[in-house]
Structure 1
Amino acid sequence: MGSTLLRDATVLTVDSQNTVHPAGWLAMVDDRITGAGPMSTCPDDAGFDRVLSLPGHVVMPGLVNAHTHSAMILFRGRSEGHSLLTMEGWYNTIREPELSLLSSDIGPAVALSCAEMALSGTTTFCEQYFFADEIAAAVAEAGLRSVIAYGIVQLGDEARGDEELKNAAAFIERQRSGDGRIVPWFGPHAPYVDNSESLLRAEVDLAVEYGCGMHLHMACGPEDNEETLARYGLTATQALHRDGFFAGRVHAAHCLDLSDEDIAVFAAAPAASVAYCATAGLRSGREGMCPAVKLKAAGVVVALGTDNVAANNAYDMIAEMRVAGLVASHREGKAQPISSRELVRMTTIDGARALGLDHEIGSLEAGKAADVIAIDVSGPGYSEAPDIETLLVYSGSGRDVRHSWVAGEQLVADRKLLRRPLAEIKADYSATYQSFWSRVEAARERA
């Protein structure tokens, strides 16, 4: 990969001091960042294989999408008028068509999702779905970084749950030998709603054995707590805590209905985090909103995610920062209870922390992986502002991302994908989309 110098840009490091170099540089050698600083300390261009002068750009860490289901791009626009955060809405709108999915559908769908993420500044995403091997192959081809949680849905079928647990363990074994861009986890879809208590305990035991994390949906709606309240007088969060679920790394998506006692469980856990999916929450029509401010005040790591693009319709994490800030203001009845700077951190270093990757990514610091993006802030909608974070969050767009690198490899240059043309990816996806929905309609006619 050689060496690259980015210069003459605003460098937003997101380090522990929130260092910003209004006129700065960043150096990458092979897959690592080797330095960053003000232009007064910029190294000589002659020492680098490639030099990019980027006036009017912000150079910052690649964005982390802390919760999505990339193959579900096939369902974009299919959930209008339905809440995917209810069992009825999810089952009828998503689960029933999913029964027609083939493994051959997954690659083209994930390829387009990865393309949209890369082009809008996401370099790492947390994934939970079926067909985990096919997802991993497509992500590897795209060059992004991903935590892939093998999705386990039991729905009362004990034999299915046992089989899926074995398959998940085998997936983790296979994926651990890669280059590090793919990190395998367990993915119980939702506690008690579609994973039984005995299966959840088995998942915890295996996660501890493998030393990997668990990614699940939690506190999405009333169904989550109905069984545990009836059986134990406890919320699902508290019941999971009782069963040792929070002993390892737990990354929970949505968390709309957390009580103060539930928040205390997350705060006391050694490695529990929340994926705050503000747009998906709003579109669901649920009254509840993730208590992100309370969670953060309690010391819980809160990252941002899009959820699937049936619930969101977009992968733009800059737009997601804006919505997350607005939702927090509305929920708390207070202007900007989460600052723009915090929102940027939630989409970079806090996303990395949630996934256990903050030693590698999330900030621009020497020794870390060279996961970097450059955003053009010279066009309409951008002007001088007191701080660059506010400009990005409330004026910015993922469509202004011009360049991106993962592990030092440039994946996007001048808004074009370098590994594979977008037109080719979209053509393959279009054929897959038509084939999949034709199968769904045929299955419905037979039913």
Structure 2
Amino acid sequence: MTRFLLKNATVLTVDAADTAYEKGWIAVEDGRIAALGPAGSEPEGFDAVQDLAGHLVMPGLVNAHTHSPMILFRGVAEGQSLLTMDGWYNAIREPELSLVAEDIPPAVALSCAEMLLSGTTTFCEQYFFADEIAGAVRKAGIRAVIAYGIVQLGDPEVGVRELARAEAFLASQRSADGRVIPWFGPHAPYVDNTAELLQAEVEIANKYGSGLHMHMAAGPEDNDVSLKLYGKTAAVALEETGFFNGRVHVAHCLDLSEEDIAVFARAPAASVAYCATAGLRSGREGICPVIDLRAAGVTVGIGTDNVAANNSYDMVQEMRVAGLVASHREGVAQPISSRDLIRMATIEGARALGLDHEIGSLEVGKSADIISIDMRGPGWSPTPDVETALVYSGSGRDVQNVWVQGEALVRDRALVRTQYETVRTEYEAAHHVFWARVQAAKMKAT
């Protein structure tokens, strides 16, 4: 039985009462939180004791929406709005057609490294090559909900093929340790997944008890298509088909109406991934109505989206942007408190993924998914409000240590399972090969 103790840190538990300890400790046994409390009450007899004086200790961050292989597209979408069909197709979809399975593991490995090094311990993925993503996730040790991405774009044969592959993924990839959780990932309703395909996806997801993760109300096309077909927004049309009867987790939601928000509020397990930076960079006028969603009782997590749209996996930075964008939308200073932004990036993200019983807060019995943040560097100074200091002055680069299920994956800002330099070198080779292939395909087409 592995037992270790973290002590002498500022501990944010993010439990229901937002309990915090000024010089707190956490005892971990066999990958789970065995006990925690204030200074002076620490138990004895541990295999290892780590003094984290000057550190903030909190639950690992939950990135509620991203596409990890798309690190291959970092920096290629300048001047393109990836939340419109034209921008996405021109900047991403065309070169994406040149992807092969061998491109994926090195890309996902670098994405996982960047997430871990900035404090993310769980992420929600939606993309193709889901088996290859799962393999890279297992190797990295991070936790991931992986939604098999389906883009049909009007081709019935593609829909049939991808549906079969997605079901095979659901049947085979759930890991015994809970670090890989397979879901369905229809890319977007009606725009690139037909009503018939969506219904088939729901039936298979229900069969396996899996969630559905998709984009919605991200670009003007989303509702344009459903309004033309049904005279209703996508959310309303989907509710009428029973789509919202199971767990549904939706990214972006920039153009939700009051009626759409009511659909989410009525659903038994519907949630939203708020991707503020991606929304801003897209140039879209719409901004996710986070305040209205939360007031209606809808769970809202925070996501980075892909790093072509965002260029960063830093969830501390993403919390900051999420707060600033909400202030701008509402015309009110800090309508979401720093404490609530942290909850959205931890326990609310976990709740959106149906994992709040396991992760998202530091509580006895939960998995020891824990991060420590060094508060002794530039940007940090004594403060009565450490949550605001983290959100508006901190950075993912302040993260020093990361544990997933009690396993140290980052120690003193270095990856433990492998060297970052190795991950980076392998990725650079894959990046070169992929873009050479894209260029060759362009030349052949002309």
Task: Give the TM-score normalised by structure 2.
Answer: 0.99
Question: Who is 1:175 aligned against?
Answer: 173
Gaps of 5+ in 2: none
Identity of aligned residues (%): 69
Match runs of 1:88-167 below 5 Å: 88-167=86-165
- Alpha-carbon shift at residue 443 of structure 1 (Å): 0.5
Question: Who is 1:384 aligned against?
Answer: 382
- Alpha-carbon shift at residue 233 of structure 1 (Å): 1.4
Match runs of 1:164-243 below 5 Å: 164-243=162-241
Q: Distance in 2 between matches of 1:215 and 1:229?
A: 22
- Alpha-carbon shift at residue 222 of structure 1 (Å): 1.1
Match runs of 1:329-408 below 5 Å: 329-408=327-406
Q: Distance in 2 between matches of 1:445 and 1:79?
A: 20
- Runs (4+) off by over 3 Å: none
Question: Who is 1:37 aligned against?
Answer: 37
Asked if 1 retains the 8 angstrom alpha-carbon contact of 2:175 and 2:181, the reply is no
Q: Deviations over 1:113-132 (max 9, x none)?
A: 00000000000000000000
Opposite residue 142 of structure 2, the aligned amino acid is L
- Alpha-carbon shift at residue 177 of structure 1 (Å): 4.7
Q: Distance in 1 between matches of 2:201 and 2:416?
A: 39
Secondary structure of 2:40 counterpart: helix
Opposite residue 327 of structure 1, the aligned amino acid is V
Q: Distance in 2 between matches of 1:35 and 1:321?
A: 28
- Alpha-carbon shift at residue 379 of structure 1 (Å): 1.1
Opposite residue 7 of structure 1, the aligned amino acid is K
Opposite residue 278 of structure 1, the aligned amino acid is A
Question: Who is 2:19 aligned against?
Answer: 19
Q: Distance in 1 between matches of 2:333 and 2:203?
A: 44
Q: Distance in 1 between matches of 2:11 and 2:339?
A: 14
RMSD, aligned α-carbons: 0.7
Q: Deviations over 1:136-185 (max 9, x none)?
A: 00000000000000000000110110110111010011112532110000
- Alpha-carbon shift at residue 231 of structure 1 (Å): 2.3
Q: Distance in 2 between matches of 1:290 and 1:444?
A: 36
Opposite residue 20 of structure 1, the aligned amino acid is A
Q: Distance in 2 between matches of 1:3 and 1:403?
A: 17
Q: Deviations over 1:354-412 (max 9, x none)?
A: 00000000000010000000000111111122221111101100000000000010000
- Alpha-carbon shift at residue 22 of structure 1 (Å): 0.9
Question: Who is 1:249 aligned against?
Answer: 247
Q: Distance in 2 between matches of 1:148 and 1:178?
A: 15
Q: Distance in 1 between matches of 2:229 and 2:132?
A: 38
* Correspondent of 1:263 among 261, 264, 267: 261
Q: Distance in 2 between matches of 1:180 and 1:42?
A: 29
Asked if 1 retains the 8 angstrom alpha-carbon contact of 2:59 and 2:362, the reply is yes
Opposite residue 210 of structure 1, the aligned amino acid is Y
- Alpha-carbon shift at residue 78 of structure 1 (Å): 0.5
